[in-house]
Structures are given as structure tokens and as C-alpha cells.
Structure 1
Amino acid sequence: MAKLYEISERYKNLDELLDDPDLENVKGAIEQSLNKIDEEFDVKAENIAKLTKAKEVDSKGLDEEIKRLYARKKTVDNQIYDLRNYLFEHMEMLGKQKIKGSLFTLSIRKNAPTVIVTDEEAVPERYKIPQPYKLDKITMLKDLKKNLKINGAEIKRTVSLSIR
């Protein structure tokens, strides 16, 4: 069976032959050849569609595995937090600032100071950093569909392959 690009090349060659005015009496042979190429192309295209669908199933399976692993990671992270918190509370309760073990040294220490914002609106402007704007493309699309003119924007409709 020919490769897909070879089949496309045959179409191109046949297209050039059809432009030849001396070929009127061999039209039946060209039609047969076209039908054969069409069938070959259709089989190849369907096989590629099957491969694509199999890859989509693989991708969905990977998405599900990512979700499962993320949930597992979150559980482990929560366990770490709970264990550290348990240890911290009991060291404080017993008044132990430091425990020196054979593998680890545990100590209660002061963290670096952090800022807690209690009312963002009350904070003076000099402490506010302007953020870059973001275009609202959803509203722009709605307005463009209503035939409203927006400078610097237009609707573009593309085409793609659908495999059902």
C-alpha cells in the first residue's frame, strides 16, 4: 500500500495528465486510476483517524492519571503539614526549643517578618504596583458578531479536521 504523500503525488500527476488535450480517448483509464487512488487514500485516511482516536484515548487516560496523582500528592502534602504541626505543637507544649537526633535536628525558630494586609483599599497608592491589562476577547467577539467595528480587531474563522 502506498504512503499518504505518494497518493497525494499521484493525484497531482493525474491532475497534470488531465490538462493534456490529447488524452480524451483514455478518460476511462484515468477514471479507474482515480477511483483506485481515492480508495487507497480513504483507507490510509481512516487508518490515520484510528491512530488519532487511539492517541486521544491515551491522552484522556493520562489526564485522569494526572488528576489521580495530583489528588495523591495533595493527600501526602496534607499529611506532611499535619505531622509537622503535630510535632510543633507538642514541642511547644513541652517547652522544647531544640531536639538533636542522630539523623535530624529539630528546632523551633522565628520566621522572617511578613506583611498581612487587612484592608487593601486603605493602603496608600505608593505601595500598589500597576498590573498589565488583559483584553476581554469574549466581549470583543460578541461585539464583532453584532457587526460593531473594533479598531485593531477582527473575526477570523479557521478550518480544522474533524474525526467523529
Structure 2
Amino acid sequence: MTNTTAIALATNYEKLQQLVETGEFSPEDIADTLEGIEGELGDKLDAIMHHVRNIEGQAKTLDEESKRLSDRKKSFENQAKNLKKYALNCLLASGLDKLKTTKNTFTARAGVVRVIIDNEALLPDELVDVQTITAPDKKSIKEAIENGLEIPGAHLEVGERSLMVR
């Protein structure tokens, strides 16, 4: 087997099709050549898809590992939070607000003041930020254009071709 790239095979196939249209080959020559090029191109594309599936599998494995590590991170963070809370409870139970050791200084800080909203509707307007979110209904716009309506500010466009492999 030659070391020909898939793109080169595809280009050769296109050139051969152009030659076929000019009639420079006999029908038998054309059939044999096309079959050979299609076979080689098919083998190359099969190899590409084998590699693609391998990469997709690796990406899925990394995604799963990322989720597992994220869960593990949360577990460690919760353990640290619980241990700090336990240390605070021990400090408070001893009646101390501050304790100095050779390695750390433990202080029971006063709580931080925070705002709790009981009923947002009762707040004065000058203390509320108003946010307006607009989002086009693309499904409805597509249906309207497909039904012959002209929608100012929108049009339909066919996207790039994509590869479907079964």
C-alpha cells in the first residue's frame, strides 16, 4: 500500500472524475481506477474514524475523571470546613476568643453583617437593580421565515457541511 494521504486520494478522485467527463478513458479503465481509489480512500477514512473514536473515548474518560476529581475536591473542602467549625466550637467551649500557639493564632471573629431579603416586592425602587433580558425565539423565527414571512433583522443560513459516520 502506498503512503498517500486521504486528502490526496480525494483530490485524485476528483481529477479522475473530471477526466471521465472528458471521455479519455474506456469504461473498464474508469471502473477499475475508481474502484481502486475508492478502496484506498475508504481505508484512509476508516483509519481516521478509528483514531477519532479513540480520541472521543479519551475525552469522555477525561470528562468522567474531571467530575470524579471535582467531587473529591468538594469532599476535601467540606472536611476542611467541618474541621475549622470544630476548632471554633472547641475555642468557644473553652471560653476563649483568641488562642496563640507556636504554629497558629486562633481567633473567634465576630459574625459578618449581611443583608437578608424577606420580600423583594416591598423594597423601594431606588434600591433595586432592574435587568431586562431579551432573547430572540429562534425556533419561531425559523418557522415564520420557512412559512414565507419576511422577518426584519433575521434570515436563514445553511451551516457548514458536517460529517456523519455510522
* TM-score scaled by length of structure 2: 0.81
**1 or 2 for the larger relative contact order (CA 8 Å, sep ≥6)?**
1
Contact residue 141 and residue 155 of structure 1 kept, 8 A: no
Partner of 1:91: 91
**1:141 equivalent in alignment to 2:139:** yes
Partner of 2:71: 71
Shift of 1:62: 1.2
Which secondary structure state, in structure 2, belongs to the residue aligned with residue 99 of structure 1?
A: strand
Partner of 2:102: 102
How far, CA to CA, are the matches of 2:55 and 2:94 in structure 1?
58
**1:5 equivalent in alignment to 2:7:** yes
Partner of 1:37: 37
Contact residue 98 and residue 107 of structure 1 kept, 8 A: yes
How far, CA to CA, are the matches of 1:156 and 1:73 in structure 2?
44
Shift of 1:136: 5.5
How far, CA to CA, are the matches of 1:157 and 1:19 in structure 2?
30
Partner of 1:53: 53
Structure 2 residues not aligned, in runs of 5+: none
* TM-score scaled by length of structure 1: 0.81
What do residues 60-100 of structure 1 show as CA deviations (whole Å, max 9, x unaligned)? 11121111111111111111111111111221121211122
How far, CA to CA, are the matches of 1:130 and 1:70 in structure 2?
35
How far, CA to CA, are the matches of 2:77 and 2:97 in structure 1?
25
| C-alpha distance 51-134 of structure 1, shift in aligned 2 (>3 A) | farther
RMSD: 2.5
What do residues 108-141 of structure 1 show as CA deviations (whole Å, max 9, x unaligned)? 223553222221111112122233514164xx41
Partner of 1:122: 122
How far, CA to CA, are the matches of 2:164 and 2:118 in structure 1?
52
Which secondary structure state, in structure 1, belongs to the residue aligned with residue 133 of structure 2?
A: coil
Shift of 1:15: 3.0
The one-letter amino acid of 2:41's match is: F
Count how many residue pairs are aligned between Structure 1 and Structure 2. 160
Q: Identity over the aligned pairs, expressed in percent?
A: 26
How far, CA to CA, are the matches of 2:128 and 2:34 in structure 1?
69
How far, CA to CA, are the matches of 2:69 and 2:134 in structure 1?
33
